[in-house]
Structure formats: C-alpha cells, structure tokens
Amino acid sequence: MSRALEHILFSDLSPKAQAITRAVSVSVAAALFILALGIVYRFHAAGQLDVRLWGLFAWKTTWVFLANGLLGTLASAAAAAVIALVLGLVLLVGRLSSQRGVRWPAIAVIEFLRGVPTLLLIYVCFLALPSVGIKLSAYWMLTLPVGLSTAAVVAEMYRAGVLAVPRGQTDAARSLGLNRAQVFAHVVFPQALRYIVPALVAQLVIVVKDTTFGYVVTYGELMQNAKVLIANYRSLVPVYLVVAVLYCSVNYAISRASRRLGRPMH
C-alpha cells in the first residue's frame, strides 16, 4: 500500500512550518487537557463524583445485574440475527425468483421492512398487536421486530454478494448438469456469503444497538436493567456512563472483528 494521504500532504514542510506545527500540537494538547479538566470539574461541582453515587459499583451484585442485562441484550441480538439470516435467505430467494408473482411480493416486503423504523415495528408489537388478540412475550416484542427489519437489510446484502459472483460460475455449473437450485446452493451462495461476511458482522452492531429499545417493552436487557438500577439508587450519571461504555465496548469489539474479516486473505 502507498503512503497514507496525510503523510504526503504534509511530507515536505519547511523547518519553520514544522516548528509551528509542533507548537500548535502542544497547544492543542493543552487545550484538550484543560477541556478534560473542565469536564471533571463540572462533575465535581455538580456533586457527581460523590462516593454515594459511585459506591454501588463496588458491589458485586451491581455488576451481576448489569452482566445479566448484557446477557439479555446478547440473547435478543443473537435470536434476531438468526431470524435475519434465515428470513433474509427466504427473501433473497424470492427476490431472485424469475416468477413475478414471487418476486414482487418479496421486493415489497424487503422495501417495507427496510423503510420503516425498528422502533415503530416494536410499538406495533407492543401496542397494536394485543388489540387484535396477538400477545407476544417481552422478549419477542423486541426480538421479532429487530430480526424482521434486519432480515430485509441482510436480504439486500445477500443479493449484493450473489451479484458479485462472476456469471461464468453459474454458466459452468449449469453446463455440468446442475439444476438452478443446486447451482445456487452449492456454487453461487457459498461464494456470495464469503464476500459479505464482514458486512454481515458489521450489521450485528446495528442489531445490538436496536435491542436498546428493550426497555420500551420492559425486556431485561442492559438499558432496562440500567433504568432499574437508577430507580433504586438514584445514581443517574454514573450508571448511564457505565452502560454507555459497555455498549461502546461490545460494538467496538464487533466492528474490529468485522474489519479483521474484511482484510484480504492470503
């Protein structure tokens, strides 16, 4: 790989410009440090560094409770991911069908699920479905909408993967006597999957984010458990900060994994 752009941009600065850059660098660092101090002072001034507010993090029970919330988040995200992968495949097959009666409904379902906010789907499961006699558990009121809207996204990812498989592969497999279903299952789809694995893993980040809405249906995921902690200990800022750090770490780990998978294999 060639040098990064920023290195070329600033590769041949004059000694004077270099000195200025260094000076600005130092003052920026100082400004950022003062900003950080200011934030810490703000916490202190508002009494948010009080031991009373942070004390609960010294107890094991707090962490067990938060870990349970995280498990709830992951349990919902995992099931939603499975729904998305399976239903996405169904939608893909429909989308690629040569029959209009199958293709158009599949397109409609994909566009609909992609074009509507997940939160709206959750509200439908939560508020509207019970009025027509369908009652879901809190777990499914969260997992089903998240899985459905992800399925549509996954279907489009699958399709991008399938379209990226060279045509010659299909032609060759067909001329060897495989039927269309066999070509898809044994030749095209496995290769398509390889292309899109990084994007699929990256989509997991969005799934985890969407499960945050679990508190809307009072499903015990991380956000909901955080709210319970806050209600019990009145420690708003610390709990939300810790939860934000937990979410960021989980999603950062997933993003990293996706980037790793995205690197070319040798």
Partner 1 sequence: MGSVVRLLADHGPAFGEALLLTWKLTVMSFVAGFALGMVITVAQLLPLRPLRFVLTGYVEVFRNIPSVALLIFIVFALPDLNVLIDYEPSVILTLTLVGSAFTADYLRTGINTVDGGQVEAARSLGMRPMVVISSVVLPQALRSVVQPMTSLLIALMLSTSLASQVPLPGRELTALVAKIANDSAAGISAFVVAAAMYLISGLLIAWAGAALEKKVRILR
- Binding of residue 241 to partner 1 (CB under 8 A): yes
Q: Which of 182, 255, 257, 261 binds partner 1 (CB under 8 A)?
A: 255
Contact mark string toward partner 1, 110..149, x via CB under 8 A: -xx-xxxxxxx--xx--xx--xx-----------------
Q: Which of 19, 29, 176, 185 binds partner 1 (CB under 8 A)?
A: 29
Return d(Cα 228, Cα 73) in angstroms, integer.
15
Question: How big is the chain, counted in residues?
Answer: 266
Q: Which of 3, 100, 135, 263 binds partner 1 (CB under 8 A)?
A: 3
Contact mark string toward partner 1, 166..205, x via CB under 8 A: ---------------------------------------x
Choose among 68, 49, 71, 52: nearest CA to 60. Answer: 68
Q: Judged by CB under 8 A, which stretch of 44-52, 64-72, 87-95, 170-178 contacts partner 1?
A: 44-52
Return d(Cα 114, Cα 148) in angstroms, integer.
9
SS (H, E, C) 141-209: HHHHHHHHHHHHHHHHHHHHHHHHCCHHHHHHHHHCCCCHHHHHHHHHHHHHHHHHHHHHHHHHHHHHH
Choose among 208, 213, 231, 236: nearest CA to 223. Answer: 213
Minimal distance in Å, beta carbon 234 to partner 1? 10
Cα-Cα-Cα-Cα dihedral sign, residues 22, 28, 32, 38: positive
Nearer to partner 1, 17 or 185 (CB): 17
Q: Give the residue carrying structure tokens 């703000």.
A: 42
- Binding of residue 63 to partner 1 (CB under 8 A): no
Choose among 113, 91, 117: nearest CA to 104. Answer: 91
- Binding of residue 218 to partner 1 (CB under 8 A): no
- Binding of residue 40 to partner 1 (CB under 8 A): no
Question: Which H or E run contains 57?
Answer: none
Q: Judged by CB under 8 A, which stretch of 43-51, 89-97, 140-148, 184-192 contacts partner 1?
A: 43-51
- Binding of residue 12 to partner 1 (CB under 8 A): yes
Nearer to partner 1, 83 or 146 (CB): 146
- The residues, any chain, with a CB within 8 Å of residue 49's CB and separated by 6 or more, are 40, 43
- H helices of the chain, in order, are 5-9, 15-45, 51-54, 60-96, 100-115, 118-123, 138-164, 167-175, 180-182, 189-210, 222-233, 236-262
Specify whether the CB–CB gap between 146 and 76 falls below 8 A.
yes
Minimal distance in Å, beta carbon 170 to partner 1? 27
Q: Which of 79, 192, 243, 258 binds partner 1 (CB under 8 A)?
A: 243
Residues within the interface to partner 1 (CB under 8 A): 2-3, 5-6, 8-13, 21, 24-25, 28-29, 32, 42-43, 45-46, 48, 111-112, 114-120, 123-124, 127-128, 131-132, 205, 208-210, 212-213, 216, 223, 236-237, 240-241, 243-244, 247-248, 251-252, 255
